[in-house]
Structure 1
């Protein structure tokens, strides 16, 4: 039996009550390093995995397993991967996504946003041209600085916000004009693009 739970942007205070209860009660818990480390204050016995494929080694259908995923597991998350591998998921518990947290910090509405994930994926930034607001998940290859430069080369102008280590003590949010240099603080982050469309 597999339950997948979103743990939010990182800081345990953003766990939903339901997810926290499941963490306290579960017999077997799997999580990636960052998630496992941030939740050690709740449970010391979380099994840390480093690659998505490692999860498959623990799942045999007999054990009740709680798999913890950062953000929301249905938003560019692990649920699709597990289903493609043919795994039967009993329940998915949502979590606060890092982009939702970021938009709250910026006090900006996101209901008409264009969403892209550059976290381990290749995406064409060209489609940002046709959207006033785009929200991107980033990784160590697709940094805010790289995105800023590429958008400028595509003749996209406006504001770019980069949020790093969101919800942690070392959180930092930077606002720049598209094309300007952005310091790469962490590979853990979200970029928001406000396109000045005609």
Structure 2
């Protein structure tokens, strides 16, 4: 029985994966980016490895999974990756099939008419363009885009069309290509779309690779001809031998792994490739306020997110860790999708994750698709402000009505009508002074009011009085209060 691995991330790789899904043929598919995984069909028969592998890691993966047949369906210009795959297969004694993309050199619409300049590399393309005037539309990808910064006035002349991922956009902006000069779009594109971009940006030279039909090469050439501009084409690295995607499908059809049930390769289930996200309640302050489990998990994290104050308070635990001062899913998720190398993730929350915490919404964000397939979440509780304050007051809190005015609207007097003991979290609008005024107004001027500020910190302060005696005092805007009859 064959165990099959497809190195994809290309149109050909997607076609082979789709075929395996349709035929209920269980295979591993290796892609180097999150986008490469996103374009694959969701299937119980496809087991995705979505991080790049070097030569040694490929060899280890092939050995560990018992792979007997490898399809190299990587990009025609990914010559180093193909070489690594070939070397890994040779050392493990595994059969390798190179899936090739038909070259369009010499085809109709790709004639040697003086408007197409063929070069052997991006470096040679840049060398040809040195001293040439006019704008450029560069469609050779983001990895070698930095080479075009050698051209005079590249910030004003170069328009780069790249994949619309956070990491790619950030890399392009870092080298100085940004704003309207950065076109983040996923192709391939029609002739009309290419023409529109050429005219919109007054392009004089279109730089591309001979990437075949799957890469929209002919459409680029026709658009360049229609607009009367010069196409600078980087030719294929070498004449490759191998099979087309259609020929590779026939090999798959004949393989002995036909209609393997997913359970037969359960040890490498999709869950085993999920990244671990732990939402951690840090208690009231520094490391001494955390549970032992929380400290242990933090020490194992590759990257930790949280409000800047919490990251600082974690102290030595986060020494040498990657730390980012973010606590919203809209910031955290895009960063994680662009940085697949971080496998173990921690997100810090003050107090307890189950007590008016942002942890609930964060869990919901990670459970939404497609993230639910990529991340496994765990929630660790912490010491809540209500339990801490009541312990400092030497009282229990089993009969306390829990109430939050932190970023919320509510009437503390109405809450006090329902219970003899009310705990509340406050904010800059619902301050101690504000609730004292409301309690006095409702006829509760002489109830007992305990105010906790900077709980667990060295400058912690707990003040007990009545709404009448505390109304005009100054308190921290993020205080916690316990109101008792």
Do they fold alike, i.e. is TM over 0.5?
yes
* Cα RMSD for the two superposed structures: 2.1
Is 2:354 the counterpart of 1:64? no
Cα deviation, residue 42, structure 1: 1.9
The structure-2 alpha-carbon separation of the partners of 1:110 and 1:171, relative to structure 1 and needing over 3 Å to count, comes to same
Is 2:153 the counterpart of 1:153? no
Q: Which runs of 5+ in 1 are unaligned?
A: none
- Name the structure 2 match of 1:109: 396
The structure-2 alpha-carbon separation of the partners of 1:51 and 1:4, relative to structure 1 and needing over 3 Å to count, comes to closer
CA–CA separation in structure 2 for the residues paired with 1:80 and 1:138: 20
Match of 1:18 among 293, 296, 299: 293
Cα deviation, residue 170, structure 1: 0.5
Match of 1:186 among 460, 463, 476: 476
Provide Cα deviations, 1:31-71, integer angstroms capped at 9, x if missing partner: 11221111133214322126564333334395431101100
Q: Which structure 2 residues correspond to residues 24-63 of structure 1 after superposition, within 5 A?
A: 24-44=299-319, 45=321, 46-49=323-326, 53-60=330-337, 63=343
Please say if residues 151 and 179 of structure 1, whose CA atoms lie closer than 8 Å, have aligned partners that are also in contact. Answer: no
- Name the structure 2 match of 1:94: 381
Instruction: Select between 26-35 and 149-158 the one with higher mean Cα deviation.
Output: 149-158
Q: Which structure 2 residues correspond to residues 69-88 of structure 1 after superposition, within 5 A?
A: 69-85=349-365, 87=367, 88=372
Q: Secondary structure at the match of 1:108?
A: coil
CA–CA separation in structure 2 for the residues paired with 1:191 and 1:90: 32
Equivalenced residues, count? 195
Q: Which runs of 5+ in 2 are unaligned?
A: 1-275
- Name the structure 2 match of 1:169: 458
The structure-2 alpha-carbon separation of the partners of 1:28 and 1:185, relative to structure 1 and needing over 3 Å to count, comes to same
Please say if residues 281 and 352 of structure 2, whose CA atoms lie closer than 8 Å, have aligned partners that are also in contact. Answer: yes
Cα deviation, residue 11, structure 1: 2.6
Structure of greater relative contact order (alpha carbons < 8 Å, 6+ residues apart): 1
Cα deviation, residue 178, structure 1: 2.1
Cα deviation, residue 94, structure 1: 0.6
Larger radius of gyration: 2
CA–CA separation in structure 2 for the residues paired with 1:188 and 1:52: 23
Q: Secondary structure at the match of 1:4?
A: strand
CA–CA separation in structure 1 for the residues paired with 2:436 and 2:402: 16
- Name the structure 2 match of 1:118: 405
Match of 1:132 among 415, 420, 423: 420
CA–CA separation in structure 2 for the residues paired with 1:183 and 1:52: 38
The structure-2 alpha-carbon separation of the partners of 1:189 and 1:54, relative to structure 1 and needing over 3 Å to count, comes to farther
Please say if residues 143 and 184 of structure 1, whose CA atoms lie closer than 8 Å, have aligned partners that are also in contact. Answer: no
Question: Structure 1-normalised TM-score?
Answer: 0.89
CA–CA separation in structure 2 for the residues paired with 1:164 and 1:49: 24
Please say if residues 27 and 65 of structure 1, whose CA atoms lie closer than 8 Å, have aligned partners that are also in contact. Answer: yes
- Name the structure 1 match of 2:221: none
Cα deviation, residue 103, structure 1: 0.5
Question: Structure 2-normalised TM-score?
Answer: 0.38
